[in-house]
Structure 1
Amino acid sequence: MSLIRVLEKFILSSVKKLAMGFLDLFIVALMPVLKILLITAVGLLLGTERIDILGANARSYLNRLVFFVFSPSIIFSNLSDTITLDSLATLWFMLVNILLTFLIGTALAWILIKITRTPQHLRGLVIGCCSAGNLGNLPLIIIPAVCGEENSPFGDSSVCSTDGEAYAALSMAVGSIYIWTFTYPIMRISASKTEEIVIDGSSIRDNNSRETSHLYSEIDTEALLPSKGCPSSEEYMDQVEPQSTGSEGKAKVTLLQKTTLQLKMLIGHIDLKKLFAPSTIAVIIGFLVGLVSPIRKVLIGDDAPLRVIYSSVSLIGEAAIPCMTLIIGANLFRGLKSSGVGPLLILGIIAIRYIILPSLGIVIVKAAHRFGMVESDSLFQFTLMLQYALPPAMNVGTISQLLETGQSECSVIMLWTYAVAAFSLTLWSTIFMLVVA
Structure 2
Amino acid sequence: MALGNFYIWTHSYSIMRRSAQLYKRGCNNHPTTNIGKEENSRENQNGNYAAFLPLSSADSYEDVSSTLPSNGVAGRLMHYLRRAKDLLAEILKELWSPPSVAALIGFTIGAIHKLKSLVTEEDGPLRVVQDTTKLLGDAAIPCTVLILGGNLTKGRGGRTTMKPLLVLSIIVIRFIILPACGIGVVKAAGKLGFLPRSPLYHYVLLLQSTVPPAMSIGTIAQLFDVGEEECSIVFLWTHLFAALALTLWSTVFMSLVS
**TM-score normalised to structure 1 length:** 0.44
Mapping 1:20-419, distance limit 5 Å: 171-172=1-2, 174-194=3-23, 195-196=25-26, 209-210=39-40, 231=59, 233-236=61-64, 270=90, 272-273=92-93, 275-337=95-157, 338-419=159-240
Distance in 2, matches of 1:377 and 1:339, equals: 46
For structure 1, list consecutive stretches of 5 or more residues without a partner in the other structure.
1-170, 212-225, 242-262
Contact 1:389 1:425 in 2 (8 A): yes
Output one character per residue of 1:254-277: Cα deviation in whole Å (capped at 9) or x when no partner. xxxxxxxxx99x959936246321
Equivalent position SS for 2:26: coil
**Taking structure 1 as reference, are residues 272 and 286 closer, same or farther at Cα in structure 2, changes over 3 Å only?**
closer
Distance in 2, matches of 1:422 and 1:399, equals: 25
Equivalent position SS for 2:155: helix
Aligned twin of 2:79: none
Deviant stretches of 4+, over 4 Å: 197-200, 205-209, 237-241, 266-269
Contact 2:10 2:95 in 1 (8 A): yes
Higher helix share: 2
Contact 2:203 2:253 in 1 (8 A): yes
Contact 1:197 1:206 in 2 (8 A): no
**Taking structure 1 as reference, are residues 361 and 309 closer, same or farther at Cα in structure 2, changes over 3 Å only?**
same
1:435 paired with 2:250, answer: no
Letter aligned with residue 150 of structure 2 = A
Structure 1 vs Structure 2 CA RMSD: 3.6
Equivalent position SS for 1:196: helix
Letter aligned with residue 161 of structure 2 = G
* Residue 428 (structure 1) shift: 2.0
* Residue 354 (structure 1) shift: 0.8
How many residues are treated as equivalent by the alignment?
224
**Taking structure 1 as reference, are residues 234 and 276 closer, same or farther at Cα in structure 2, changes over 3 Å only?**
closer
* Residue 322 (structure 1) shift: 1.5
RCO (CA 8 Å, sep 6+): is it higher in 1 or 2?
Answer: 1
Distance in 1, matches of 2:65 and 2:88, equals: 13
**TM-score normalised to structure 2 length:** 0.71
Equivalent position SS for 2:165: helix
Output one character per residue of 1:74-96: Cα deviation in whole Å (capped at 9) or x when no partner. xxxxxxxxxxxxxxxxxxxxxxx
Distance in 1, matches of 2:28 and 2:233, equals: 31
* Residue 313 (structure 1) shift: 1.2
Letter aligned with residue 173 of structure 2 = I
